[in-house]
Structure 1
């Protein structure tokens, strides 16, 4: 009998180990899909000049290579995130992967402006479908707080550091042929798709009858698409006080208000408004909008400073940002889990945001003839460290207290605030920077000095946005429990007891 029990226990342990291995393999598949999408968001920026020369884009038309993707991607994230809850997140992930991969190939073989812009719009749809459900799937796969924190660390690295990796990879691929930045997605998409079919567990979803609110879907999608369009087009070109900008912005707000009213009365709302009762979920998304908007001062304006003022080539530009990706990867993959479990997400987020703030302030001092090691390397290190701490913590906060059936919605919301924050930051910082540069040029200031002053203003504004995010983190957020069933006050205590138990166990073994 004893031998039979031992065999049964060993079989159970082997089965548990296999299930655990499958979960981590599934995480890497999901992160592979996310990395492909995040890379695409920045890799294109490096190749814009080559695309313009090859396909004969006008300056105004070239902006739509980026804008078409942002509008469809940012506009659909919340909708497809919720539909992932209803029809199954695995189904949504795979469908989005197919759309994104096919659209990438169409981008790579585009023959003119129209075909490339249209393919980029479709690519944004696929990117939204794929990325909106990933965070919800991760939370469902890793219910244990420690495993969950570790998994979120890996996801956060991909979601945030992928932009820096995109700059590096984009430099190498563009040096060969700009079309490769899109065609490289074909083998990656196929590999991720095969892995997803074999490893990801099927989930049925709640069913369309439990949340297929068509009027609500039309309102929120229209509001977000119009809002993103307003940010990236009229606001960036004509200014924030222009009549067109104000009119379209007001229309987007009216649509958003209509959506809120609809969801408050719908029998099966697309987005149950009760989800916003969580201070941490609401606060984390507001903080994410502000932080990502401020971070564009580092990625977008920083890359322009290196290229236009210091004369960096695409490959040099990518290498300059490498410390960001390297440090974020080390922290997110290796240490963020321990920090979140030991101190709580809120206590990790605040110093992370503080380091991002210092990095932006340091960049405001970069001169026309700035030395990389004196004025760029230090901010890159601080930025990588700060983001490596802040984003895993933000992801935990954004998903805290969410019911399992609403995880896809919360995941889509978190991705939406990241994309809207990026679009908003790009429009605001680019507009202010260009305006100051133009004003200085009219006054007779040298080109490089005028450009540098414009970039400095963008860094100052980005820093101000992060200051507001810091204030929100201090005032709004509460300590996050290590488990969704725990209490706020018990969060850090439970984490400490768990770590102390591990230490005691290790001493016993020694």
Structure 2
């Protein structure tokens, strides 16, 4: 698509420019960067761009939740015990959560297109390799590599959207499509995992690979080439990258290993102390570097802080609850992977259906209200599940919960991403998206570790039809965390209304 670039002007395509583009599509050309400013009449190229970016996010979310269904089959074939199986998931989370900030800054400095495509290629190749190897340590290492790749594709992809679509209706529409696809990946992960595990656990590891490589080919053609300024080593905050990445990696490693090592063991305490020391060193470095990895001033925004805390609560609670429900359905009720997939399907369908209207909702409803409504839906789903009793039919104990979780994701996930990047400078969009996705992954790692500790500390055998020992306590803790998120969001909404009055 050829665009006539007129600096500092808004060009209406279809009048005096390229007639292949509808007349009602507006492009704001800022320097060499063309920005879509309207939410209607998008070209086929724009839609393909969204398919590539949203497809990559869908795969990232899918990989987080899909593999969990295949773990029992994988452990049986590869003779992996529970501690080794945990690292199939934790290895991915370590790479993902530990390097998101670096991934976001790298996309701002070295070019979003370049970083996104390179990371997508690594993700695809690592997926294929993971599915064919038989060495346990190699599988865990490749899962870590995939997590690292996702840590670069997610902030790069989100910043491509926020710098391609102008803030307002156009960006809200693009973000709603993008984030609903991400939420669909999380919510449909169990569905895909159940279906593919019926074929082979290797199919769950292989599936993202060919899809990622196909998206790579399309992305090479449709992702815009935007000239980047010269970047010297002075622009790259190496000390900040090492200390921030080190702090996050050590923190995530500490929380995922604590259930086995013990929360008060010397190893765990040393790891937490090291994470705190690295975090302090990072703050010191950022206050002194001329080109910091994170401009600490971005954290003065109440909206940005609220979006990140909400992301932590939303995903931390959800992924932990999903873990408890998976164990209950498989170990207590004896559900097959395919039955579990069908049981979770309504949530995924609800999230996908919401994509049609979410852009309009974001235009009309403040993001804080949407986040509050989403967290309330999550909370209702968790509390409803506590009613589960032996012999209770699916439509009574699980279906209402699944529908409420789908509604929560449909409302909360797009609103969190929109709020986290709203009002942020173009050159910091990668940073903002990296921050919110770091909060998502760290929330998942920490809450999963807490729930695992609760379950492992409660002794007793699993009885058919009954909740596993510690399961109800774990769901209560998840509910309390979500209630805190609701209270915090409510306080923000009231504060804004008082200011408006």
TM-score normalised to the size of structure 1?
0.87
Quote the residue 1:496 is aligned against: none
**Closer, same or farther: CA 477–260 of 1 in aligned 2, 3 Å:** farther
Kept in 2, the 8 Å contact 1:283–1:477? The answer is no
Deviations 1:162-204 (A, max 9, x none): 1221211111211112112222223212210011011000123
Match of 2:481 among 465, 476, 496: 465
Q: How many aligned residue pairs are there? A: 471
Quote the residue 1:211 is aligned against: 235
Kept in 2, the 8 Å contact 1:206–1:405? The answer is no
How far is the alpha carbon of 1:422 from its aligned partner? 0.8
Quote the residue 1:9 is aligned against: 15
Tell me whether 1:375 sits opposite 2:397 in the alignment: yes
- Cα distance in 1 for residues equivalent to 2:394 and 2:54: 32
- Cα distance in 1 for residues equivalent to 2:73 and 2:462: 27
Quote the residue 2:6 is aligned against: none
**Closer, same or farther: CA 54–11 of 1 in aligned 2, 3 Å:** same
**Closer, same or farther: CA 58–8 of 1 in aligned 2, 3 Å:** closer
Tell me whether 1:33 sits opposite 2:49 in the alignment: no
Quote the residue 2:369 is aligned against: 347
How far is the alpha carbon of 1:80 from its aligned partner? 1.1
- Cα distance in 2 for residues equivalent to 1:135 and 1:420: 18
Kept in 2, the 8 Å contact 1:23–1:141? The answer is no
**Closer, same or farther: CA 47–449 of 1 in aligned 2, 3 Å:** closer
Quote the residue 1:162 is aligned against: 185
How far is the alpha carbon of 1:446 from its aligned partner? 6.3
- Cα distance in 1 for residues equivalent to 2:473 and 2:392: 16
Match of 1:108 among 123, 131, 153: 131
- Cα distance in 1 for residues equivalent to 2:424 and 2:334: 48
Match of 1:227 among 251, 256, 259: 251
Match of 1:254 among 250, 263, 277: 277
Kept in 1, the 8 Å contact 2:98–2:248? The answer is yes
**Could you list the runs of 5+ residues in structure 2 that have no partner in the other structure?**
1-11, 26-35, 37-41
- Cα distance in 1 for residues equivalent to 2:230 and 2:388: 55
**Closer, same or farther: CA 250–180 of 1 in aligned 2, 3 Å:** same
How much is the aligned-residue C-alpha RMSD, in angstroms? 2.4
Match of 2:422 among 364, 388, 400: 400
How far is the alpha carbon of 1:144 from its aligned partner? 4.4
- Cα distance in 1 for residues equivalent to 2:148 and 2:425: 26
Match of 1:152 among 175, 180, 190: 175
Match of 2:142 among 106, 113, 119: 119
Deviations 1:20-44 (A, max 9, x none): 3122321111011111222111111
Tell me whether 1:455 sits opposite 2:455 in the alignment: no
Quote the residue 2:9 is aligned against: none
What secondary structure, in the 3-state scheme, does the structure 2 residue paired with 1:132 have? Answer: helix
Kept in 1, the 8 Å contact 2:165–2:174? The answer is yes
What secondary structure, in the 3-state scheme, does the structure 2 residue paired with 1:240 have? Answer: coil
Kept in 2, the 8 Å contact 1:346–1:479? The answer is no
Deviations 1:458-478 (A, max 9, x none): 111111111111122122468
Kept in 2, the 8 Å contact 1:346–1:478? The answer is no
- Cα distance in 2 for residues equivalent to 1:60 and 1:448: 24
What secondary structure, in the 3-state scheme, does the structure 2 residue paired with 1:131 have? Answer: helix
Kept in 2, the 8 Å contact 1:40–1:166? The answer is yes
How far is the alpha carbon of 1:132 from its aligned partner? 2.3
Tell me whether 1:270 sits opposite 2:293 in the alignment: yes
- Cα distance in 2 for residues equivalent to 1:178 and 1:102: 18
Tell me whether 1:420 sits opposite 2:451 in the alignment: no
Deviations 1:209-242 (A, max 9, x none): 3730111111011111111111111x22244333
How far is the alpha carbon of 1:16 from its aligned partner? 4.9
How far is the alpha carbon of 1:13 from its aligned partner? 5.7
Tell me whether 1:66 sits opposite 2:89 in the alignment: yes
Quote the residue 1:365 is aligned against: 387
How far is the alpha carbon of 1:434 from its aligned partner? 2.9
Match of 1:130 among 147, 153, 156: 153
- Cα distance in 2 for residues equivalent to 1:236 and 1:144: 44
Quote the residue 1:506 is aligned against: none
**Closer, same or farther: CA 186–7 of 1 in aligned 2, 3 Å:** closer
What secondary structure, in the 3-state scheme, does the structure 1 residue paired with 2:423 have? Answer: coil
- Cα distance in 2 for residues equivalent to 1:48 and 1:476: 40
**Closer, same or farther: CA 340–479 of 1 in aligned 2, 3 Å:** farther
Quote the residue 1:93 is aligned against: 116
Moved more, 204-213 or 409-418: 204-213
How far is the alpha carbon of 1:15 from its aligned partner? 3.0
Match of 1:185 among 208, 215, 224: 208
What secondary structure, in the 3-state scheme, does the structure 2 residue paired with 1:268 have? Answer: coil
More helix by share: 1
Kept in 1, the 8 Å contact 2:252–2:445? The answer is yes
Deviations 1:247-280 (A, max 9, x none): 2112111101110111011111111111111110
- Cα distance in 2 for residues equivalent to 1:245 and 1:64: 17
TM-score normalised to the size of structure 2?
0.89
